[in-house]
Structure 1
Amino acid sequence: MFTQTQSRLPECEIHTILSNPRRRAAIKELCSSPGTISVRDLSEVIAATETGQTPAPRNVRESVYISLHQTHLPKLHELGVIEYDRELKEVYLLDAAKDLDRYMDVVTAFGITWGGYYRSLGVFGLAVVVAALAGVPGLAAVDPLLWASGFLGAFSLSTAYQLWTDRWNVLRNLRR
């Protein structure tokens, strides 16, 4: 069992946690929430994600609720990743969840990871600037410094967007 005095979750426990899609979904949802969330709200979000329907069918919502309440949330609580009040049926993320971050790659709305997006933007930007410096027709008509500034602006706007969409997790990490 994980105790608050340990600085890191054992890797085998991380893999156990992340091996289940509902636990991953619960952690992802808790990371995007500013604080405590009810088990009912959490189960509704996960059920909607699983079915692609809002609201999800009642039997799916009930199934998700029961599995979270009886299995997944107690397991995450036992490992020290969340605080789960079984009586109030409320849950919130603990500091130990940051050990899971590097194993949970964040995917953009377009289905690629942010890391893949930034690498692609960087390689494309570099190729355009080099092509402009090499005199490729069309690209050479624009000053390479302007191209570089444009891609730097794209990086800045992308970063601002990413931070805004993940603001609750960023704020939570800043408070630690």
Structure 2
Amino acid sequence: MSSQGVRQDGGGPAHSELDEADIHDVLRNDRRRLVIERLQEVEDSSESVRELSERIAAEESGESPPPRNIRQSVYVSLHQTHLPKLDDLGIVEYDSDSKRVRLAECADEVAVYMEVVPQDGISWAEYYLGVGLLGLGLSVAVASGMPVLSGMLGTVLVALLFLVLVVSSLYHVSNQEETVLDRLRE
């Protein structure tokens, strides 16, 4: 269950931070993950369930346009299951009458998890571990005097690897919405 507070105006529940279990439950389902990804890409503030189901069905089937039965299956599951769940958690705002959906307040909390643990590819932590291990191995090889890496070539390779590490770190930090320094200043 998500942590929810009560709004000051006496209205319905106001969403606060999501439980980690809720976030993992949301991201465990491909369709919910695709809904969030698609809404992050949308330039308008909202998208219709029909447009969402079309995109997700195309992604799932690998065909464009997707077969009608897959598109219909996606539409029904979004309308009856996934969008109401995401709405209840405060991740999206779903208007079942107009069949429109947009990201809500708690979407940023889920987006952080999507960035840290991508569905495809490697995480930043795995990337940095790989670069670090490669650098360590190369440094040990240069220090031990391996003939191929001795002299200037080994030093240049180690320097290039550290340059890759610095550039990667700068890229990673520049793409963060809020850095540790920003949080400390508040």
Same fold (TM over 0.5): yes
2:136 aligned to which of 123, 126, 150? 126
* Residue 76 (structure 2) pairs with residue 66 (structure 1): yes
Aligned to 1:149: 159
Confirm whether residue 30 of structure 1 aligns to residue 69 of structure 2: no
> Separation in 2 of the partners of 1:125 and 1:28?
34
Does the C-alpha gap of structure 1 residues 114 and 44 become closer, same or farther in structure 2, counting only changes over 3 Å?
A: farther
The answer (yes or no) to whether the contact 2:15–2:90 under 8 Å persists in 1 is no
CA distance in 1, matches of 2:139, 2:70: 51
Offset at residue 84 of structure 1 (A):
1.9
Question: Which of 18, 26, 49 is residue 17 of structure 1 equivalent to?
Answer: 26
Structure 2: which 5+ residue stretches go unaligned? Answer: 6-12, 180-186
- Cα deviation for residue 14 of structure 1 reads 2.8
Query: 1:58 corresponds to which letter in structure 2?
Result: R
Q: Which amino acid aligns with 1:97?
A: A
Q: What residue number does 1:48 align with?
A: 58
Counterpart pick for 2:106 among 93, 96, 99: 96
Find the counterpart in structure 1 of residue 149 from structure 2.
139
What is the SS of the residue equivalent to 1:98? Answer: helix
Equivalent residue for 2:118?
A: 106
CA distance in 2, matches of 1:163, 1:90: 34
User: Which piece of structure 1 moves more, 119-128 or 148-157?
Assistant: 148-157
* 148-157 or 78-87: bigger deviation: 148-157
User: Match for 1:21: what amino acid?
Assistant: D
Query: Are the equivalent residues in 2 in contact too, given 1:48–1:55 (CA < 8 A)?
Result: yes
Q: Identify if the C-alpha distance between structure 1 residues 49 and 163 changes in structure 2 by more than 3 Å, giving closer, same or farther.
A: farther
Cα 1:57–1:97, aligned 2, differ >3 Å: closer, same or farther?
same
Q: 124-133 or 64-73, which moves further after superposition? A: 124-133
Identity of aligned residues (%): 40
TM-score using structure 1 length: 0.71
Q: Deviations over 1:17-68 (max 9, x none)?
A: 2343211222233344455333233222221222222332221112112211
* Map of 1:76 onto structure 2: 86
* Number of aligned positions between the proteins: 166
**Contact 1:129–1:148 (Cα < 8 Å) also in 2:** yes
1: CA distance between counterparts of 2:137 and 2:88?
Answer: 50
Q: How many angstroms does 1:76 deviate by?
A: 0.6
> Which structure has the larger Rg over C-alpha atoms?
2
Gap regions ≥5 residues in structure 1: none
- CA distance in 2 between counterparts of 1:69 and 1:137 reads 65
TM-score normalized with structure 2 length: 0.68
